[in-house]
Structures are given as C-alpha cells and as structure tokens.
Amino acid sequence: MRTRPQAAWIPAEPTPADDDVDTSIARLRGLLDGARIAALTGAGISTDSGIPDYRSPGAPIRTPMTVQMFLSSPDFRRHYWARNHLGWRHMDAAQPNAGHHALTALQRQGRLNGVITQNVDMLHTKAGTRGVIDLHGSYGRVRCLGCGWIVSRHRLADMLEARNPGFADRVTSRGAIEVAPDADMVLRDTADFIVAECPMCDGILKPDIVYFGENAPKDLVEQSFSLVDASDALLVAGSSLTVMSGLRFARHAHRTGKVLVVVNRGGTRADDIADLKVDHYCGVVLPALAG
C-alpha cells in the first residue's frame, strides 16, 4: 500500500559523481548482458529536460500539497490550480533527454521489457517508449471526482483562461517564476484566481495524478509487479526510492532473485540490496548502456 509522505521532502546529501564511471558502466553492462530488463524511473531522469525533482543533491526543500489539503478547502484548490495553470505549460513544453531516449533504444533492441515511471511528465511516451506504466498518472488529463468526467489538460487550460483572462501574463510580468515538480510552480499571489468546476455535475476537478497521501491505482501496481516478474533484472534510474511506491519493486526484485541495479545521484533506500549502484547522471550512464 502506497502513501506519499506529507512532511517536507529533504534532498539527499551531495555526493561526488562516480569518478570511475567507465568502470561502473562496464560492470553495469556485464550485469545486464543478455538480461530482459524492467526499468523503474523517478524524477532524476527528467531533470535534464528542465523538470526539477524533490530529492537530488542541491534541490530546494519543498512541501508539496497533499490530497487531504486539496480536498479540504476551496482555498487550497484555488491556490493549486493557479500554480498549475502556469506549471503545466512548462511540463507540456519539456522534451525527452538522452536518458529517456536511451531506454527507448534499449526497448527497440529487444532488451527492455517495459518502463514503470513515478513521473507524471509523459516524457517516456514522448521519447517513443511503448507500454509505459504511469504509476502516478499523467499531467495531461483531469478527472472529476464526482461523476468521473475526463478532460484533457489542454481543454481545461482554455476553460481556466476564460475565467482568468490574462492571469498568466500578469503573474509572469512580475518577474521569474520558480518551476516546481509535478506540473506545479511556486506562486504565492493567487487570491483572485477563479477555479473551474466540472461542467457535467459541478464536481471537483483534480489532475489525474497520484497526490501525496494517495495510493497508486491497484491495477497499475499489479501490472508493475508483473513486469518485474517477467524480467531478469530491474534497472532503477533517477529515483531515491524514499517512498514505498518504488521501493517495493526494488525489494521484490531482490527477494525474487532478479538482478537489481541503481543509477541515481545521491543515496537511495535500495543501495544496501542493489547488485550495483552507480552514483552518476542518468543522461550519461543510460546512453552508454544502450550504445
């Protein structure tokens, strides 16, 4: 059962990138040679695309909104949607980087069985990877919590813009806005923002993503375990595995005798069970693995 923590997320302690990365990559290749690979990715694979994460060394300490906050108050929802009205545009414009393309290359080589991602940025799909399991959902869809009506984030943007003409221009004209993870932005002046309700039932609209304090959908969790079971190795890329959402798959791989390798900047909760930990950038290590 997965519950995201509700306290502030503290970044990992800075660690030097692996000085002998060539040796580590050679070991990684040896461990994965001939293996059917399942990949589990986190925010660290997307930082080269301009999407910040919560826990890499040097990241600012953040306190993300929880589902309990979002549901408890119209003020919280207004604050969230005002920030998201700006933040989703940044995520929508982001493009896959070398790490994403390397996983697609591994899949086309017949070496990668599939990808489980904890990210909501859709960059694996943009890179051409097939059958991605979006464990935490996708920023590109919005769902009504009352009647289940689903709308694209693009269409919702039009609805919000109609209610808040010029809001984005007014806010951005005041200076630089700090981008935050999960299609969010750091924004404080939101008192005049008008939220859109479901046009079908006037219900609460929520991004079709797993918030902090929510559980990942059971069917996606089961698909993820099945992917690991159908593979010989689990490659963790860009995740500290701080929450059980990803850690359970690493532990399951280790418990069932799969090869477990981790590529991540900073420490992870699977370092002690991994067959190999490479403390380096996904954008460097994964292309070398696929090359």
**272 and 291 co-located in one domain:** yes
Residue 267 assigned to a binding site: no
If asked whether residues 113 and 230 sit together in one domain, one would say yes
- Cα 82 to its chain centre, rounded Å, is 21
Examine the domain organization and report whether 34 and 178 are in the same domain.
Answer: no
> Which residues are CB-neighbours of 218 under 8 A, at least 6 positions away?
none
- 100 with 180, same domain? no
- Residue 3: the pLDDT is 35
Whole-prediction pTM: 0.87
For 184, the token pair is 């969010």
| Judgement on whether residues 190 and 113 belong to the same structural domain of the protein | no
215 marked as part of a ligand binding site: no
Q: Tell me, what's the pLDDT at 4?
A: 37
Q: CA 228 to CA 175: how far, in whole Å? A: 46
In sequence order, what are the residues at sequence separation of 6 or more whose Cβ sits closer than 8 angstroms to the Cβ of residue 285? 21, 24, 25, 28, 263, 278
Q: Do 46 and 129 fall into the same domain?
A: yes
Can you tell me whether residue 207 is helix, strand or coil? Answer: strand
**Distance from C-alpha of 102 to C-alpha of 97, rounded to nearest angstrom:** 9
Q: Is there a binding annotation on residue 201? A: yes
Judgement on whether residues 25 and 156 belong to the same structural domain of the protein: no
Is the same domain home to 66 and 142? yes
| Residue 206 to residue 168: CA distance in whole angstroms | 20
Judgement on whether residues 130 and 232 belong to the same structural domain of the protein: yes
Same domain, 31 and 152: no
- If you ran DSSP here, which 8-state letter would residue 8 be given? P
Q: How far is CA 238 from the centre of its chain?
A: 10
Q: Round to whole Å and give the CA distance between 240 and 243.
A: 8
The CATH number of the domain holding residue 78 is 3.30.1600
The count of C-alpha atoms lying within 13 angstroms of the C-alpha of 184, restricted to the half-sphere facing its C-beta, is: 21
Alpha carbons 21 and 215: distance in angstroms, whole number: 36
Residue 103 CA to residue 92 CA, distance in Å, equals 20
| Segment (H or E) for 75 | helix 74-93
3-state secondary structure of 136: coil
Given this model, what pLDDT does residue 6 score? 38
Residue 9 lies in a domain: no
Look at residue 230 and give its three-state secondary structure: coil
Strand (E) or helix (H) holding 89: helix 74-93
Are 77 and 110 within one domain? no
The tens-digit pLDDT sequence of the chain (291 residues) is 233 333 344 445 555 555 688 999 999 999 999 999 999 999 999 999 988 876 555 555 556 778 899 999 999 899 889 888 888 888 899 999 999 999 999 999 999 999 999 999 999 999 999 999 999 999 999 999 999 999 999 999 999 999 999 887 777 655 545 565 565 555 566 778 999 999 999 999 999 999 888 999 999 999 999 999 999 999 999 999 988 999 999 999 999 999 999 999 999 999 999 999 999 999 999 999 998
- Please answer whether residues 9 and 64 qualify as being in contact, where contact means their C-beta atoms are separated by less than 8 angstroms: yes
Residue at which a domain ends, from 209, 237, 267: 209
User: Which structural domain range is residue 148 located in?
Assistant: 60-93+137-209
Report helix angle 282-290 to 21-32, nearest 10.
50
Q: Is 54 annotated as a binding residue?
A: yes
Q: Decide if 11 is inside a domain.
A: no
Domain's final residue, options 190, 209, 228: 209
Domain check: are 257 and 115 in the same one?
yes
Question: How far is C-alpha 115 from the geometric centre of its chain's CA atoms?
Answer: 12
| Residue where one domain finishes, among candidates 161, 180, 209 | 209
Q: Does 195 belong to an annotated binding site?
A: no
Q: Is 264 annotated as a binding residue?
A: yes
Closest CA to 254 of 227, 234, 226, 224: 234
Active-site residue numbers? 136
Tell me: is residue 58 an annotated ligand-binding position.
yes
Decide: 216 and 210 in contact? Cβ < 8 Å: yes
Q: Which residues contact 131 (CB under 8 A, 6 or more apart)?
A: 114, 115
